[in-house]
Amino acid sequence: MNRIHNPDRSFSASEQSGLTSSSQDLNKVTYWGLARRVGYLLPFAHVLGFWPRFGIEYHSASVSSVPSTPGSGIHQTAIDFEANLVVMPAAHFGLLINPYAAIPLGSGSHGTAVFSVI
């Protein structure tokens, strides 16, 4: 959710979170994350603006067997940087074009499963 307080120049705060869990006959996979960001909207015209944001995020993923055997998982904390170009073709609607960087601060794992990120 984003909050914009003043249409000319504004401070904003946003948060994103998610939870995904799926079970099959043998394994359960769980993912959840939390990302908080703050930024400042600088409009150039009625249809164009610049919205830099930064924040911190935490993600966790785990795999466990259904018959309650110990599972394994990974987690990561990172600092986020975004440089959003905002195109606003209509009131209360905008398209974001942005480069994004997440710089890892720390991570860890438990158990024996191997996770790979594609």
Query: What are the pLDDT digits (tens) for 11-39?
Result: 555 555 555 555 556 667 778 888 888 99
- Domains with residue ranges and CATH for the chain: 10-110 (2.40.160.20)
pLDDT(2) > 60: no
Determine the pLDDT at residue 9.
Answer: 47
Q: What is the dihedral of CA 85, 51, 93, 33, to 10 degrees?
A: 100
Strands 10-23 and 72-90: unpaired
Query: What are the pLDDT digits (tens) for 43-76?
Result: 888 889 999 999 999 988 887 766 655 677 888 8
